Structure 1
């Protein structure tokens, strides 16, 4: 997640002249965290087929940009995927359900990228149960390219207000096999209110809020050093940091102006949403969560191909105690009895946004 220049303007009000001055010239020209963004431009450089596929897979969406994947390369054709438990989110994702969905996104993107070089991937998910690897992937010849590959480097999670333009029926039909698209005005209003109230629970529960604050990366140096979590960068935001208008301390204090304005801006964003995408599964086993991630990745690529924006707003699906009333309401509104809502996302037409930082592929490969 990142804060846009528009949001920052609202947060600091009259201090923007100072920030705009500081963000000019040479300072602005040097604020892009090139090292943290290099995996996007380096994906697909000539390399061994498994590494080629992995260079794209590390660009997959995942909760809080934790990038919870570690891989072993075994023999000449096998990848073993593990969840990096050091990247867990114990407060907001105590059962690692959302992280497992992120690993499903990784596997699907890896499979799509492998097909581009003619390789099919046979997946064995949780072959040894939850105590073992997430998946064993075996590459073999025989795959045709997937049309969605063309949109891999354009894919984003757009965390900005969307226009009030309705999602056309023909697009809803195209998305139908991947998710349940909700556009009825009354339903949309109810889901908007649910997402707002669930956000408030997360943001005003000290331990869950602190989990996010601890993952904030302030400015180019922090982002390059730790290219995961919640990146707060760019010339304008760094100027605000230099001016003392944006800080980790302020983001931890519900009484600070920055905190209050950030909450107000998040509410504005949530309410600028014309439609929602809902992804459910009949069960909630680890295999269901992996499958949900694979579908979400394809949904995200398909929305990109259609010129639509998608942004997960799954606070109501988090499984910590204070969220339970909203979790129950989300399932009442969005799922058949007994089914699990795995993902909930804002859907609409939003602005173009930059990519999120990523750890280099080399840091995600381990020795067996």
Structure 2
């Protein structure tokens, strides 16, 4: 479900998400949270605000939307991180959050180019910490009018991009040619690899399955996700971020007291068992995988991984191939350490850091339900 709504500006004000078509919006249930998709594309003539209204649709972990933006300097966007949006248990080094910020910057740059503006990025101009993101700027982006700037054809798919968290059609292979076109979209220095070979699919399905089990059986890690559940329309409208559970089935289960955060944390409950089985079943229907590797693991590497990741995601959308990140095995907490090492040995045998891992496939239902990421925050005026 795409629930990014607005970007709160440092200094006051908001920017609404870029608009889609009325037809697309009508398919989604939480109407208030989804209004920006029908409105925002036409709300802004100011180039930075228009670009940012698309940037807040970028993929990011748990739909946390960890961006804060200051627009107080002319022709400049200063991006910092909202420290209230961290995932301290599953992302203790803020690596995944940084990747999400890289996705944001790439979509912003694409959206600026559509208007004939070049964006020059100064990343971590006041330095960086490998341990934790702090209040220092992540990026200072300067917008310059440049009629020669090349438009990126991938921008056409920004409003359609999604992470499809449903079972994939196991009777329909992903063509290797499509998988290779997806990874060829990377341009910021990450090594992107895709495999649709049966033995590889089998091995990586096992890894992603086991990683989901470990995360679910690690109480603090699992609770971090459950705390971000948004169950039913009212919760989605009140907090249009986090992990969406909306639609008629969830409304009924929530009203009956069967789908609650408390039940989701109770391993003996029906909600826990059904949810656990569904998550594992999704991972086990992968018909291919794609992953990204960087030589190092600096903040600059992580930003580059994010910029390339959204490019891969947009290319998959153009190819009609569904994707869903399954990066639990890449998380840096003690209970995951053994599987983390096994995953790196398999996916990065020459060394480096695996930054992203996702499954590929085609939706089992036709058409797929329109679930893609939607709230957001810009700060600055």
Q: TM-score, normalised by structure 2?
A: 0.85
The answer on 1:111 being equivalent to 2:124 is no
Query: Is 1:33 aligned to 2:24, yes or no?
Result: no
Indicate how the Cα distance of structure 1 residues 40 and 69 shifts in structure 2: closer, same or farther if over 3 A, else same: same
Contact 1:57–1:106 at 8 Å: present in 2 too? yes
Of 340, 354, 360, 2:370 maps to 354
Contact 1:37 1:357 in 2 (8 A): no
**Among candidates 175, 180, 183, match of residue 193 of structure 2:** 180
* Cα contact 1:125–1:134 (8 A) shared by 2: yes
Match of 1:194 among 168, 186, 207: 207
Deviations 1:73-116 (A, max 9, x none): 13321000001110000000000000000000000010111111
Matched ranges for 1:29-178 at <5 A: 32-47=29-44, 48-130=46-128, 131=134, 132-142=136-146, 143-164=149-170, 165-177=172-184, 178=186
- The answer on whether the counterparts of 1:39 and 1:55 sit within 8 Å (CA) in structure 2 is no
Secondary structure at the aligned position of 2:29 is classed as coil
Contact 2:59 2:373 in 1 (8 A): no
**Where do residues 257-272 of structure 1 align in structure 2 (5 Å cutoff)?**
257-272=270-285
- More helix per residue: 1
Matched residues, number: 339
Q: Distance in 2 between matches of 1:79 and 1:59?
A: 17
Measured in 2, the distance between the counterparts of 1:324 and 1:66 equals 24
- For 2:69 and 2:95, how far apart are their aligned partners in 1? 19
Q: Is the 8 A contact 1:181 1:275 kept in 2?
A: yes
**What stretches of structure 1 of length at least 5 have no aligned partner?**
3-28
What's the TM-score, normalizing by structure 1? 0.88
Among candidates 228, 231, 234, match of residue 241 of structure 2: 228
C-alpha distance in 2 between matches for 1:66 and 1:74: 24
Quote the residue 2:314 is aligned against.
Answer: 301
CA RMSD, Structure 1 to Structure 2 (Å): 1.8
Q: Distance in 1 between matches of 2:27 and 2:155?
A: 32
Q: Is the 8 A contact 1:53 1:114 kept in 2?
A: yes
How far apart are 1:206 and its partner, in Å?
0.6
Per the alignment, in what secondary structure is the counterpart of residue 345 of structure 1? Answer: strand
Contact 1:283 1:338 in 2 (8 A): no
